[in-house]
Amino acid sequence: MDNIKDNRYYLNKIITDLAFIIEHTKELSPEKLEKDEVLVDSVMFRLIQISENSDKLTEDFKGYHNSIPWRAIKGMRNRIVHEYGNVDMTVVYDTVKKDIPVLLSELEVISLL
């Protein structure tokens, strides 16, 4: 058998990255995000990894769990990668504070199925 990983593996990687972002941005303000280059790089890297791992999930899996905003996840990655120096930190902050916790909760439920 080759080294192909399954959906559960990639789902767990995504959950780990989401939890990391939440843990390291608990006391985050928009101003702190703007000024903390190491934190920005770390969060951006994790957001890219989340998208890359979501791309490795099967289409059947993503279709079955179509309440998850797979396309938006990919869109965020594309914005970060292709416009890295010009990414709107307000969008990143809102994603971290509003979208990431909801996404983590939804994916944790899916991981228990």
Q: Map residue 13 onto helix, strand or coil.
A: helix
Other Cβ atoms within 10 Å of 28 Cβ, number: 17
User: CB–CB of 71/31 below 8 Å?
Assistant: no
Q: Does 77 participate in catalysis according to the annotation?
A: yes
Catalytic residue among 8, 24, 71, 82: 82
Catalytic residue among 8, 65, 71, 77: 77
How far, in Å, CA of 19 to CA of 3, rounded? Answer: 26
Q: Does 24 participate in catalysis according to the annotation?
A: no
Q: Which residues are catalytic?
A: 77, 82
